[in-house]
Chains A and B, each alone.
Chain A
Amino acid sequence: EPEVTQTPSHQVTQMGQEVILRCVPISNHLYFYWYRQILGQKVEFLVSFYNNEISEKSEIFDDQFSVERPDGSNFTLKIRSTKLEDSAMYFCASSQDFGGREQYFGPGTRLTVT
């Protein structure tokens, strides 16, 4: 069964450093998403991406964040200058269609900023 994959599973970085989180969505999916979950809290939407551009973003997704689909398979989230409060689980998701279609999640990347 096709699945969303994410690398790395755990990333430790120092405050102020740049990180890139990588995702490979399900191959025939067209819509891609990033969510984050701070430990013990709810899952929060960051950004959605379709046709090589951002479709929607939340207020969390400020200028420190960017997304890219550098080739036909990868979907990346970059945080330019990490802060302590960026420590969280970051989930990538993909779907065949927007709106009502199911979003399938990757296993997540645990980001720890020290």
Chain B
Amino acid sequence: AQTVTQSQPEMSVQEAETVTLSCTYDTSENNYYLFWYKQPPSRQMILVIRQEAYKQQNATENRFSVNFQKAAKSFSLKISDSQLGDTAMYFCALTMDSSYKLIFGSGTRLLVRP
């Protein structure tokens, strides 16, 4: 069975600093995709970043980057220059070529302090 684990229920960071959110996953499939979604208080799910398992290069989207360690099955999200608007719940998610569904972790609540 595929699983996604986020071991940090809550994190906080000072505005303008850098924070890293952790995620580990488990799948027996060779081809899969990993995502980070942001859920602000409005509860809208917003795609932050995506990584294909067959790509060695870590994905980057502006202030957001990932550290994808395939052998360790680890997929962490780094937020640089944190902004107040980054305050949200962050979910790590996994999908495979063999399935249509996204499997989510339990989420990490991030608070950016002014």
Chain A residues in contact with chain B, CB under 8 A?
31, 33, 35, 37, 41-45, 48, 50, 55-56, 58, 89, 91, 93, 98-100, 102-105, 107-108, 110
Contact = CB atoms under 8 A, between A and B. Distances in A.
Given A42-B105, A102-B50, A31 B43 contact: no
Consensus secondary structure, chain A interface: strand
Contacts of B97: 99-100
Contacts, number: 66
A99 B104 contact: no
Interface of B: 31-33, 35, 37, 42-47, 50, 52, 91, 93, 95-107
Contact of B107 (A31, A42, A50, A108): A42
B84 to A, nearest CB: 21
24 contacts: A33-B100, A35-B102, A37-B43, A42-B107, A43-B93, A45-B102, A48-B100, A48-B101, A50-B100, A89-B43, A93-B45, A99-B33, A99-B97, A100-B33, A102-B35, A103-B47, A103-B95, A103-B102, A105-B44, A105-B46, A107-B42, A108-B44, A108-B45, A110-B43
